[in-house]
Amino acid sequence: MRRIIYFLLVTLWSCNAVSAGGHGVALEAANVDLANKTSLQRGAGLFVNYCVSCHSASFMRYNRIADDLNLSEEAVQTNLMFTTDKIGDVMKVAMRPADAEVWFGVAPPDLSVIARSRGADWLYNFLLGFYFDESKPTGVNNRIFKDTAMPHVLWELQGLKRPVISHGEESSGHGAVAEVTQFETVIPGKLDEGEYKQAVRDIVGFLVYVGEPAKLVRYRIGFWVITFLLVLLVPAYLMKREYWKDVH
Ligand code: HEC
């Protein structure tokens, strides 16, 4: 028995060590809340306004968004559908992938399951992590995706920040700032830091939902299953008392 416990402890510890070793930079928790439909609705709005010009989410259909996020089809049609006019269509990208490849050197990937491959925390920190770097063609670099070809598409909201270089180092201009954690604002954004974090949390929440829409259905079913089991507990207990009455 002791051996088994020892084995389990060692296995758990090493799993932890592996997952912690994934990135050089500590990730801040995204804390997305899939039960918060308003946040998911805002996330959908931000996603279609700021992301589908380059990225598709080709596993997700607009009418499914309407159903899952408690939106009417009209609301989805007027507020969310810019790349198609069919409510049953998937979230297509506005630009042609071949053009995108010419412009950015790499085609922006489909984001349908990005939350499952990268994880919510990674996405959250990625969208928070852009900073000014004049050596890059896009003018920015990213704390956790070094030298990314993606421009800082949310810069108007977040503003632009520049790393504060400590220990007498000069900025090499090559994005060598993985260890830098201090940033100073160069251009202020429309949102303050808290508001921007919430906006990013909304987008990431939407991407988590897109990655596994059935999660919302499972939550709903799960609630009723547990309620049913709790209600069933009462007659089951009374029946048990009744049956065992004569035995004792
Ligand atoms: C102007 C085009 C453009 C827009 C708009 C854009 N992206 Fe990107 N994005 C890219 C490109 C190009 C890449 C590929 C970067 C690379 O591989 O270096 C990328 C990569 C990504 C990645 C990393 C994928 C991976 O794992 O390699 C994520 C996540 C992402 N984008 C999310 C978003 C989100 C969320 C938005 C909306 C807020 C958005 N993008 C808007 C161009 C864009």
Identify the pLDDT of residue 193: 93
Pick the residue whose CA is nearest to atom 2 on ligand 1. 54
Q: How far is the CA of 104 from the centre of ligand 1 (A)?
A: 10
Residue 51 near ligand 1, beta carbon < 6 Å: yes
> Residue 101: pLDDT band by 50, 70, 90 thresholds?
confident
Summarize the confidence of residues 172-196 as an average pLDDT.
Answer: 77
**What are the tokens at 57?**
């989410």
Contacts of 156-159 with CB under 8 Å at 24 or more apart are: 156/189, 156/190, 157/189, 157/190, 157/191, 157/196, 157/199, 158/128, 158/130, 158/189, 158/191, 158/196, 159/185, 159/186, 159/187, 159/188, 159/189, 159/190
Residue 106 CB: number of other CB atoms within 10 A?
11
Q: Is the pLDDT of residue 51 over 80?
A: yes
> Residue 96: pLDDT band by 50, 70, 90 thresholds?
confident
> Residue 41: pLDDT band by 50, 70, 90 thresholds?
very high
- Who has greater pLDDT, 137 or 84? 137
Contacts of 20-25 with CB under 8 Å at 24 or more apart are: 23/122, 23/144, 24/178, 24/179, 25/125, 25/129, 25/143, 25/144, 25/178
Cα 211 to Cα 57, 62, 117, 169, 208, distances in angstroms:
9, 14, 9, 41, 5
Residue 52 near ligand 1, beta carbon < 6 Å: no
**Test site for ligand 1: of 32, 55, 200, most ligand atoms within 8 A of the Cβ:** 55
Pick the residue whose CA is nearest to atom 41 on ligand 1. 51
Instruction: Map tokens 């790349």 to a residue.
Output: 83
Question: What is the percentage of the chain residues whose pLDDT exceeds 90?
Answer: 69
Residue 183 near ligand 1, beta carbon < 6 Å: no
Q: How far is the CA of 55 from the centre of ligand 1 (A)?
A: 7
Q: Which atom belonging to ligand 1 lies closest to the Cα atom of 53?
A: 5
pLDDT in tens, 168-179: 554 444 544 456
The upper half-sphere exposure of residue 147, i.e. CA atoms within 13 Å in the direction of its Cβ, equals 6
**What are the tokens at 245?**
């009455």
- Who has greater pLDDT, 201 or 95? 201
- Who has greater pLDDT, 231 or 220? 231
Q: How far apart are CA 43 and CA 211, in angstroms?
A: 14
Q: Which atom belonging to ligand 1 lies closest to the Cα atom of 46?
A: 38
**What are the tokens at 68?**
């899952």
Residue 175 phi, psi (nearest 5): 75, 20
**What are the tokens at 155?**
């810069």
Q: Is the pLDDT of residue 203 over 70?
A: yes
Instruction: Map tokens 């918060």 to a residue.
Output: 36
Q: How far is the CA of 182 from the centre of ligand 1 (A)?
A: 24
